[in-house]
Amino acid sequence: MNITINSVHFKADQKLEAFIQTKVEKLSGLFDGIIGTDVILKLENIDSPENKIAEVKLLIRGNDLYARKQCKTFEEAADQAVEALRKQLEKHKEKLRGK
């Protein structure tokens, strides 16, 4: 699976990228039809400490799945986004089985 990580207006360190790669790769074990994944990391200009945003787009045959989470750390945001995608993936698999 091809995983693309983009960080907007900052440079993500290797540890963060490795963490995200590990989390996202676990999704490929759930479903064979994953073509690739796009991850976008952003810092929002607000006073709140919860200004880190992780957007994860899962490219699968037919249609794409998407999750966006905003938290205090990029790790937490990525973790929550991947968890949301895992749930979406389970629903998608159920739909496919129902056909």
What's the predicted TM-score (pTM) here? 0.90
Q: Indicate the pairing of strand 65-71 with strand 34-43.
A: unpaired
Tens of pLDDT along 69-96? 999 999 999 999 999 999 999 999 898 8
Tens of pLDDT along 14-27? 999 999 999 999 99
2-98 topology per CATH: Double Stranded RNA Binding Domain (3.30.160)
Where along the chain do its domains lie?
2-98
The answer to whether residue 45 scores a pLDDT higher than 70 is: yes
